[in-house]
Chain A
Amino acid sequence: MTATASPETSEDLDLGGDSRARGADRGFRGLVTLAGLMVLVVLALILVATALRAMPALSEEGLWGFITGTRWAPNEDVFGTFPMLYGTLVTSLIGMVVAVPVSIGIALFTTEIAHRRLRKYIVTVVDLLATIPSVVFGLVGVLVVVPFIDDWYQGLAGLVEPVPVLTSVFDESNTGRNYFTAGMVLAIMTIPIITSIAREVFDTVPETDKQAAYALGATRWEMIKGAMLPHSFGGLVGASMLGLGRAMGETIAVALVIGGSFHISANVFDTGNTMAAVIAQQWGESTGLHTDALVGIGVVLFAITVIINFAARWVVRRAETKMRGAHS
Chain B
Amino acid sequence: MTTVHHGAPPDLSGRNLSLRRAAANRAATVGIGLCVLVAAFPLILVAYQVVVRGGSALSLGFLVEEIPRNYRTAGGGMGPAIVGTLLITGMAALIAIPVGVLGAVYLNEYGKSGPLARFIRTMADVMTGVPSIVMGLFIYVVYVVVIEERTGFGGALALACLMLPIVIRSTEEMLRLVPDELRQASAALGARKWRTTLSVVLPTASSGITSGALLAVARAAGETAPIIVTVGLTYLYRPDLFAGQNTTLAAQIYRNATQPFEASQERAWGAALALIAIVFLFTIVARVIASRFAVDRR
Could you list which residues of chain A lie within 8 angstroms of chain B, going by C-beta atoms? Answer: 8-11, 13, 15, 17, 21, 24-25, 27-29, 31-40, 42-43, 45-46, 49-50, 52-53, 101-106, 108-109, 113, 122, 125-126, 128-129, 131-140, 142-144, 188, 191, 195, 217, 219-222, 224, 242, 245-246, 248-252, 255-256, 276, 279-280, 283-284, 294-295, 298, 301-302, 305-306, 308-310, 313
Contact = CB atoms under 8 A, between A and B. Distances in A.
Contacts, number: 280
- What are the nearest 8 A-B pairs in CB distance? A249-B131, A133-B222, A105-B35, A10-B187, A35-B102, A28-B194, A36-B106, A309-B129
Contacts of B279: 131-133
A252 B224 contact: yes
B33 interface: yes
Contacts of B72: none
A102 B133 contact: no
B129 A246 contact: yes
Contacts of B219: 131
Contact of B102 (A24, A32, A122, A140): A32
A264 B109 CA distance: 52
B177 interface: no
B228 A302 contact: no
Contacts of B133: 249, 251, 276, 279-280, 298, 301
A251 B228 CA distance: 11
Q: Is the interface of A mostly helix, strand, loop or mixed?
A: helix
B127 interface: yes
A313 B126 contact: yes
B123 A40 contact: yes
A43 B130 CA distance: 9
Given A136-B276, A301-B131, A251 B224 contact: yes
Contacts of B184: 8, 10
Nearest to A144: B49
Given A28-B197, A36-B111, A252-B225, A279 B39 contact: no
A248 B131 contact: yes
A22 to B, nearest CB: 8
Nearest to A302: B134
A50 B122 contact: no
A128 B284 CA distance: 10
Interface residues of B, number: 100
A279 B131 CA distance: 12
B281 to A, nearest CB: 11
Contacts of A242: 129
B285 interface: no
Of A50, A53, A105, A222, chain B has the most CB atoms within 10 Å of the CB of: A105
B280 A131 contact: yes
Contact of B42 (A131, A188, A298, A302): A188
A221 B225 contact: no
A165 to B, nearest CB: 26
23 contacts: A25-B192, A33-B110, A38-B103, A39-B123, A46-B130, A49-B141, A102-B35, A105-B36, A106-B39, A125-B36, A131-B279, A136-B275, A142-B258, A249-B129, A249-B133, A251-B224, A255-B254, A276-B133, A280-B133, A280-B224, A280-B229, A284-B228, A305-B130
B8 interface: no
A246 B134 CA distance: 12
Contact of B183 (A10, A15, A219): A10
A307 to B, nearest CB: 10
A36 B98 CA distance: 11
Contacts of A8: 180, 184
A31 B101 CA distance: 11
Interface in B110-134: 110-111, 116-117, 119-120, 122-127, 129-134
B205 interface: no
B224 A132 contact: no
Contacts of B25: 219-222
